[in-house]
Amino acid sequence: MIKEIRKIANNNLDLNNLKEYNLSIQLSLDGFSFCIYNSNPNEVLALAVYEFQSNTVINPVKHLELVTQLYEQEELLKPTYKSVFVSHFNNLVSQVPLALFNKNNLQNYLQYSIKLLENDYITFDEINNSDIVNVYIPFVNINNFLIDKYGAFMFKHSSTVLIENLLKSYKNSEGLYLFVNVINSNFELVVINNNKLELFNCFSFKTKEDFIYYILFIAEQLQLNPEEFKLVLMGDIEKESELYSIAYQYIRNISFYAPIDFPANISNEVSKHACFTLLSQL
């Protein structure tokens, strides 16, 4: 089952004339989101978020079935675009210091934290403004599907996009920041200390208690005082949500990420901290 969570589209959007616009897609096992944008000026023409719901675990075969079904029903995904960028959100990723990285040893970097299959395709991203390499397993069957639809396109792991943009945004900020990017029932957690990546991890949660437990666990491991460190929230979380409420009970300094160049034409319809990875390509 595919559930539409949010959809915004310019009423004057001509489906036959989108070749000069760009398409950004974010993939996850339990969802699919995309936006159509013009980078000059900084303008979003359409944005949509879908959730995949299933009574069973969504495996690669089921995942492809759901994406195929979505493409059959969503007209905005069918045209040709000037460029296509895809980010893959999953927990099949590990960070490796650039000084120790060897592209011929990709399997070794994942085998102790991920159950690898013999035919798994492993790739990597070099994270800009850092000495870190992201090694990960993308949704290769969805990539192949998208190649058939659009031809060549660029893709990265969602954590690459997240870390790169946070390092860029906070390059002049001193001190320690803990960032939480909520995506459906998962969240990415990034710790940046004096503009250096200190930690990345990804967690799944079912309850608000799970959510705060993982944040406080990381804080404890890093010997961070909840009265002192700065927690910056983004993604699928609002001030009125139970996730924010429970975080506020335990952590003193909480704020929402506020990008400087957020598209003005959707600022009244989408929170500035929402859809971070998707909109970071603008």
Calculate mean pLDDT across residues 98-126: 92
Calculate mean pLDDT across residues 2-10: 87
- Give the pLDDT confidence score for residue 117 in this predicted structure: 84
Tokens for 272, please give them. 């500035």
- What is the helix, strand, coil percentage profile of the chain, to 5? 30, 35, 40
b/e string for 264-278 if b means 16 or more Cβ within 10 A?
eebeeebbbbbbbbb
DSSP state of 116: -
**H-run or E-run covering 107:** helix 106-110
Q: How does pLDDT run across 171-190, given as a tens digit for each residue?
A: 888 889 999 999 988 999 99
- Give the pLDDT confidence score for residue 268 in this predicted structure: 85
User: Is 252's pLDDT higher than 80?
Assistant: yes
Distance between CA atoms of residues 232 and 215, nearest Å: 12
Delineate the domains of the chain, giving CATH numbers in brackets: 2-91+136-162 (3.30.420.40), 95-134 (no CATH), 166-277 (3.30.420.260)
Angle between helices 140-150 and 60-73 (to 10 degrees): 30
- Residue showing tokens 């395709």: 121
Give residue 41's pLDDT band: very low, low, confident or very high (50, 70, 90).
Answer: confident
Q: How does pLDDT run across 52-79, given as a tens digit for each residue?
A: 987 777 889 999 999 999 999 999 999 9
The sign of the CA dihedral 134, 231, 224, 168 is: positive
Q: Phi/psi of residue 230, each to 5°?
A: -100, 125
Residue 13: left if φ>0, alpha if ψ -120 to 50, beta else—which one?
beta
Q: How does pLDDT run across 134-161, given as a tens digit for each residue?
A: 999 999 999 999 999 999 999 999 999 9
Q: How does pLDDT run across 203-219, given as a tens digit for each residue?
A: 999 999 999 999 999 99
User: Is 115's pLDDT higher than 90?
Assistant: no
- Give the pLDDT confidence score for residue 222 in this predicted structure: 94
Question: Which pTM value belongs to this model?
Answer: 0.93
- Give the pLDDT confidence score for residue 248 in this predicted structure: 95
Q: How does pLDDT run across 218-251, given as a tens digit for each residue?
A: 999 999 999 889 999 999 999 999 999 999 999 9
